[in-house]
């Protein structure tokens, strides 16, 4: 039986360590404070009995649970990241434990009247009667992905303590900087040595994902000419207005707030502008590779069209691919998804198999030669003050990891 209090204590011990990553940094990890949790995890992995525990110069952690059977079976891995999002502060996290949640509003912070309400966050309703860990309303929680780390460590500890559960060799990996898109950049797939792996980085209980967006980032730079407005006739070129032409020319409904499922989008997330220069920063997303390429082509074509209309190169577009849909790499080895699905069903969880409207380290790792579907870690409302995680979901995730290990050994 997995101890509920042990899960709570372990998760909170990770959550209170500030591991916020920094996209402006060029180091790995991007923040020195990520080492605090990384070094803690190394010690803890050794303490529970894991072998070959290593941490490299970039804070990538790997460890081994040796096989306890005498025949060859695939080596599998479980991976999570220990950084938290720079979108909202992860400093001075003060988790709250709500026992036997009554299904009503949760006052996170009375002083600032910050309320976590099922009227707004409807998923809360399904956790009535369970134990929730929330924020105090002033920080994020860090369940993304310290819940995943909690679950992996707890599962390894459980398997070590229960040698009657037969399993092959299991590799564990913990990474920095996933939240800024660099979590897999320096991950040594060859050293990890797994045939396949699973990221424990999904949300609600039952999620099982092997499709994600194809993703690119685009920077649209618009050049104008500043002239005193009193003498601007036929001389001034306002880059802000030309940028507006570009924005208006894109499909109005193909934005995040109007799309779902496998529908792609253009997301304008930053504008910086003066008369002389305006910069638009977009992310471009689509599950379908052909549609993804068409979206990038549309950007270039619009720039050419507007430049032609203005009879000058007013707009420059730079597009950089970020990651691709891992379905292409998972499809030839679908048995690894089937095992995870079977594991969930075997312990009474209904799998929720759906595309990720985002990306995970698993996407990049899959293209690096390590097929890596994504499994739920249990948290909700990531990257903000309303983040929470049901303890029961974390316990169930531990059970899924254990069952995957057991089923893989039986294949």
Which residue numbers are catalytic? 83, 178
- Say if residue 29 is preceded by a cis peptide, omega within 30 of 0: yes
Alpha-carbon distance 156 to 162, whole Å?
A: 10
Length of the chain: 411
| CA distance linking residue 26 with residue 101, whole number of Å | 43
Structure tokens at 363: 């996407």
**E strand or H helix at 297, and its extent?**
helix 289-310
Picking from 20, 12, 97, the residue whose alpha carbon sits closest to that of residue 383 is 20
CA distances from 147 to 187, 234, 286, 295, 370 (A): 21, 60, 28, 35, 22
Question: What is the 8-class DSSP label of residue 179?
Answer: G
Contact criterion met (CB below 8 Å) for 243 and 277: no
Contact 337, 210 (CB under 8 A): yes
Return the structure tokens found at 284.
């471009």
**Residue for token digits 């998760």?**
11
Contact in structure between 27 and 160 (CB atoms under 8 Å)? no
Q: Which two tokens stand for residue 161?
A: 């303590």
Return left, alpha or beta for 92; rule: phi > 0 is left, psi -120 to 50 is alpha, else beta: left
Q: Report phi then psi at 107, rounded to 5.
A: -80, 105
CA angle 133, 137, 143 (to 5 degrees): 40
How many other C-beta atoms lie within 10 A of the C-beta of residue 34? 25
Nearest to 171 by CA among 11, 69, 51: 51
């Amino acid at each position: 039986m997995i101890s509920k209090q042990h899960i709570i204590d372990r998760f909170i011990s990770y959550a209170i360590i500030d591991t916020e990553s920094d996209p402006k940094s060029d180091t790995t990890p991007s923040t020195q404070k990520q080492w605090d949790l990384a070094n803690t995890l190394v010690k803890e992995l050794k303490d529970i009995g894991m072998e070959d525990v290593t941490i490299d110069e970039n804070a990538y952690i790997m460890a081994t649970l040796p096989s306890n059977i005498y025949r060859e079976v695939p080596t599998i891995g479980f991976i999570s990241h220990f950084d938290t999002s720079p979108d909202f502060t992860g400093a001075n996290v003060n988790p709250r434990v709500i026992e036997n949640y009554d299904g009503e509003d949760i006052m996170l912070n009375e002083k600032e009247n910050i309320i976590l309400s099922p009227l707004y966050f409807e998923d809360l309703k399904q956790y009535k009667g369970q134990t929730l860990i929330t924020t105090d309303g002033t920080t994020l929680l860090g369940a993304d992905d310290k819940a995943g780390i909690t679950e992996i460590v707890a599962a390894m500890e459980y398997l070590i303590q229960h040698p009657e559960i037969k399993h092959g060799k299991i590799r564990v990996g913990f990474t920095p900087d996933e939240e800024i898109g660099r979590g897999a950049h320096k991950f040594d797939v060859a050293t990890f040595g797994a045939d396949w792996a699973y990221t424990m980085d999904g949300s609600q209980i039952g999620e099982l994902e092997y499709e994600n967006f194809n993703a690119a980032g685009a920077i649209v730079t618009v050049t104008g000419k500043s002239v005193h407005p009193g003498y601007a006739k036929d001389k001034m070129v306002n880059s802000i207005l030309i940028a507006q032409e570009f924005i208006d020319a894109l499909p109005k409904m193909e934005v995040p707030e109007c799309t779902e499922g496998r529908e792609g989008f253009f997301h304008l997330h930053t504008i910086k502008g003066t008369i002389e220069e305006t910069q638009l920063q977009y992310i471009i997303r689509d599950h379908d590779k052909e549609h993804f390429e068409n979206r990038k082509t549309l950007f270039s074509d619009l720039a050419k069209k507007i430049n032609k209309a203005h009879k000058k190169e007013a707009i420059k577009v730079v597009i950089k691919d970020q990651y691709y849909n891992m379905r292409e790499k998972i499809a030839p080895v679908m048995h690894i998804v089937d095992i995870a699905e079977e594991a969930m069903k075997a312990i009474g969880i209904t799998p929720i198999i759906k595309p990720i409207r985002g990306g995970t380290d698993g996407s990049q790792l899959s293209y690096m030669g390590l097929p890596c579907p994504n499994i739920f870690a249990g948290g909700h409302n990531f990257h903000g003050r309303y983040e929470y995680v049901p303890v029961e979901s974390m316990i169930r995730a531990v059970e899924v990891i254990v069952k995957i290990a057991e089923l893989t050994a039986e294949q």
